[in-house]
C-alpha cells in the first residue's frame, strides 16, 4: 500500500477537469508519486503548472494536446521537490521553458548537490535509485526565475506567478488567475494528508496562506488532493494553527522532544475529532509536530528526505 493512499470526496484522479474556459486541472495519482497539474491556454501558447515526475509529465502531455493544438511554451515549477520539478526535461523536449521563483532555484542548488558540484548524492540521485523515470531522464533546473512576481497577459488571459512567503518550502509559487479567481497553490495548500513540512517554515506558513487568502480566490487547485473552493485555505491554515496550539504549551514548559513524541498519539486523537481538519491527519503527523517544535525552539531536527518519501509512492 502506498504511503499517501487516502481518497476523499471530490477526488478525480487522472481526470482532466475544465475549471474555466482555457483553464484545466489534473489530479495526479499519489500512488505513483505524481502531483496535481494545471494548464492555461493563451492566444498563442500553453503554460503548464508543475512539471511533475517524468512519468507524470509523460501521462499529462497527451492530455494537454487533446485540449489544444497550441504549443506548450512554459512550465512553472511551484517549488523544487521532485514531484513538481523533475519532469522539466520532458517538458523541454516538448518545447517548454521551465520557470520558478529565485527561492525555488536556491533550494534546488541546496539539495541537488550532485548536479551543482557538491556531494555526488543529491536528491535526484537518491530518487534515481528506485524510480526508473528519474533514472532515464536528467535534472533540468528552471531557466527563468523571478523574485516576487511574474505576469503573463495577452489581453485575453492573465496569469500571475507569485511568491508570497515561506510555506511548504522557501520558494513556493502560487499561480493566480485574477479574472477567473482561480488559484493554483502548489503544496502550500493541499487537500488531504499530504503536508510535508521538512523543507519549509511552519510558523511562516499560516502568514503566507493569509496572503493567498487576501486574493479572495473562488477556486483552489491544490498541489495534492481534490480541487476545492476558496475555503480550502482556511482549512489548511486551521490545521497548522491547531498543531501549533498543541505544541506551544509543551515548548513553554521546556518539554523535551521525547516528551513531545510521547504526547503525539494523544494530540492526534484530539485533532481527529475536529471534522474541519481531520482529513489532514496522516502518517506524517508525528513528524509535523516535531517540525513545529523545532521551529518554535530554533532547533534543526533530523529532516525526512522528501525524495525518500516520494520513493515510497512509486
pLDDT score for 7: 55
pLDDT score for 208: 98
pLDDT score for 190: 98
Task: Say which residue the cell 481518497 belongs to.
Answer: 7
Q: Quick one: which of 199, 197, 180 has its CA closest to 243?
A: 197
Residue 210 binned pLDDT confidence (cut-offs 50, 70, 90): very high
Which residues face 150 on adjacent strands? 161
Q: Domains along the chain?
A: 16-237 (3.60.15.10), 239-311 (no CATH)
pLDDT score for 11: 86
Residue 9 has pLDDT above 80, yes or no: no
The region, left, alpha or beta by phi > 0 then psi within -120 to 50, assigned to residue 155 is: left
Task: Read off the pLDDT of each residue in 169-196 and give the average, rounded to a whole number.
Answer: 98
Residue 213 has pLDDT above 60, yes or no: yes
Residue 38 binned pLDDT confidence (cut-offs 50, 70, 90): very high
Task: Read off the pLDDT of each residue in 256-278 and give the average, rounded to a whole number.
Answer: 97
57: number of CA atoms within 13 Å, CB side? 29
Q: Quick one: which of 8, 29, 10, 52 has its CA closest to 229?
A: 10
pLDDT score for 199: 96
Residue 301 binned pLDDT confidence (cut-offs 50, 70, 90): low
Residue 8 binned pLDDT confidence (cut-offs 50, 70, 90): low
pLDDT score for 240: 98
pLDDT score for 306: 36
3-state secondary structure of 111: helix
Element (H, E) at 150: strand 149-153
pLDDT score for 274: 97
Mean confidence (pLDDT) of the chain: 93
Amino acid at each position: 500500500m502506498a504511503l499517501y493512499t487516502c481518497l476523499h470526496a471530490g477526488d478525480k484522479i487522472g481526470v482532466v477537469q475544465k475549471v474555466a474556459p482555457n483553464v484545466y486541472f489534473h489530479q495526479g495519482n499519489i500512488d505513483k508519486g505524481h502531483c496535481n497539474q494545471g494548464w492555461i491556454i493563451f492566444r498563442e501558447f500553453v503554460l503548464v503548472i508543475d512539471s511533475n515526475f517524468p512519468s507524470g509529465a509523460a501521462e499529462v502531455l497527451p492530455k494537454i494536446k487533446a485540449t489544444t493544438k497550441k504549443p506548450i511554451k512554459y512550465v512553472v515549477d511551484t517549488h523544487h521537490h521532485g514531484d513538481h520539478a523533475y519532469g522539466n526535461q520532458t517538458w523541454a523536449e516538448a518545447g517548454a521553458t521551465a520557470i520558478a521563483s529565485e527561492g525555488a532555484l536556491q533550494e534546488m542548488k541546496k539539495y541537488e548537490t550532485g548536479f551543482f558540484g557538491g556531494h555526488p548524492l543529491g536528491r535526484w540521485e537518491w530518487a534515481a535509485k528506485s524510480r526508473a523515470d528519474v533514472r532515464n531522464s536528467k535534472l533540468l533546473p528552471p531557466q527563468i526565475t523571478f523574485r516576487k512576481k511574474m505576469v503573463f497577459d495577452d489581453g485575453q488571459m492573465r496569469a500571475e506567478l507569485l511568491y508570497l512567503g515561506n510555506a511548504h518550502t522557501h520558494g513556493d509559487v502560487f499561480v493566480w488567475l485574477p479574472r477567473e479567481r482561480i488559484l493554483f497553490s502548489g503544496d502550500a495548500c493541499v487537500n488531504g494528508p499530504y503536508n510535508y513540512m521538512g523543507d519549509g517554515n511552519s510558523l511562516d506558513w499560516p502568514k503566507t496562506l493569509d496572503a493567498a487568502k487576501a486574493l479572495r480566490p473562488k477556486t483552489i487547485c491544490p498541489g495534492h488532493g481534490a480541487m476545492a473552493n476558496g475555503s480550502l485555505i482556511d482549512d489548511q491554515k486551521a490545521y497548522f494553527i491547531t498543531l501549533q496550539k498543541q505544541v506551544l504549551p509543551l515548548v513553554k514548559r521546556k518539554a523535551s522532544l521525547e516528551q513531545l513524541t510521547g504526547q503525539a498519539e494523544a494530540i492526534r486523537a484530539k485533532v481527529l475529532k475536529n471534522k474541519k481538519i481531520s482529513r489532514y491527519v496522516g502518517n506524517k503527523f508525528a513528524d509535523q509536530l516535531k517540525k513545529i517544535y523545532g521551529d518554535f525552539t530554533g532547533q534543526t531536527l533530523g529532516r525526512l528526505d522528501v525524495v525518500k518519501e516520494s520513493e515510497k509512492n512509486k
